[in-house]
């Protein structure tokens, strides 16, 4: 069940748009911000709130890669695997992250600290390789810099 605060925030976003269904991404973000991820019940609740079918909401949620349909760790690492980063050493960074965190893409560390996900271009190809954690962008990253970056997140 959505909280009153969540419903208010979704209504607020929907009021800015020509029709309420257009607020579906914002609604998913609002709920995810408070709950960490979007479960099936939240999909149904958002659908009801926006007068959509659960399948319609789910199709948006699964298409948009920053909406999580499974539980994630406290911090989500998005490692860019697009062409510039690939050329500039993405594979080495991925291998180093796998070793340090003991997880692969799509997995969460045992202590729920990090989830590691691949991501398409983060928009800073001239500073590849790049990754993002909780919305914070890290450019020109090296294996040597990873410990310092990860230590910012507990
Ligand atoms: S390809 Fe990685 S930031 Fe563009």
Please give the pLDDT value at position 65.
Answer: 85
Query: For residues 41-69, b (16+ Cβ closer than 10 Å) or e, as one string?
Result: ebbebbbebbebebeebbebbeeeeebbb
Kindly state if the Cβ of 128 falls inside 6 Å of ligand 1: yes
This prediction's pTM? 0.86
Q: Rounded to the nearest 10 degrees, what angle do helices 4-15 and 24-35 cross at?
A: 150
Kindly state if the Cβ of 124 falls inside 6 Å of ligand 1: yes
pLDDT by residue, tens only, the chain of 154 residues? 999 999 999 999 999 999 999 999 999 999 999 999 999 999 999 999 999 999 999 999 999 888 999 999 999 999 999 999 999 999 999 999 999 999 999 999 999 999 999 999 999 999 999 999 998 999 999 999 999 999 999 9
Please give the pLDDT value at position 104.
Answer: 97
- Would you state the structure tokens that stand for residue 135, as one six-digit string? 């919305």
CATH class of 75-150: alpha beta
Nearest-atom index, ligand 1, CA of 122: 3
Mode of pairing for the β-strands spanning 114-119 and 131-133? unpaired
Kindly state if the Cβ of 82 falls inside 6 Å of ligand 1: yes
Q: What is the CATH number of domain 4-63?
A: 1.10.10.1590
Kindly state if the Cβ of 122 falls inside 6 Å of ligand 1: yes
Distance 104 CA to ligand 1 centre (A): 20
Distance 122 CA to ligand 1 centre (A): 5
Kindly state if the Cβ of 149 falls inside 6 Å of ligand 1: no
Kindly state if the Cβ of 93 falls inside 6 Å of ligand 1: no
Domain boundaries, the chain: 4-63, 75-150
């Amino acid at each position: 069940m959505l909280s009153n605060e969540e419903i208010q925030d979704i209504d607020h976003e929907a009021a800015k748009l020509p029709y309420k269904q257009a607020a579906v991404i914002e609604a998913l973000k609002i709920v995810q911000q408070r709950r960490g991820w979007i479960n099936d019940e939240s999909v149904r609740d958002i659908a009801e709130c926006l007068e959509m079918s659960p399948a319609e909401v789910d199709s948006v949620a699964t298409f948009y890669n920053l909406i999580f349909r499974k539980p994630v760790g406290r911090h989500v690492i998005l490692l860019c695997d697009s062409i510039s980063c690939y050329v500039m050493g993405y594979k080495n960074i991925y291998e180093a992250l796998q070793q340090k965190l003991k997880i692969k893409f799509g997995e969460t560390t045992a202590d729920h600290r990090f989830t590691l996900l691949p991501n398409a271009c983060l928009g800073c190809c001239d500073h590849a390789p790049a990754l993002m954690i909780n919305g914070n962008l890290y450019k020109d990253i090296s294996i040597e810099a990873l410990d310092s970056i990860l230590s910012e997140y507990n």
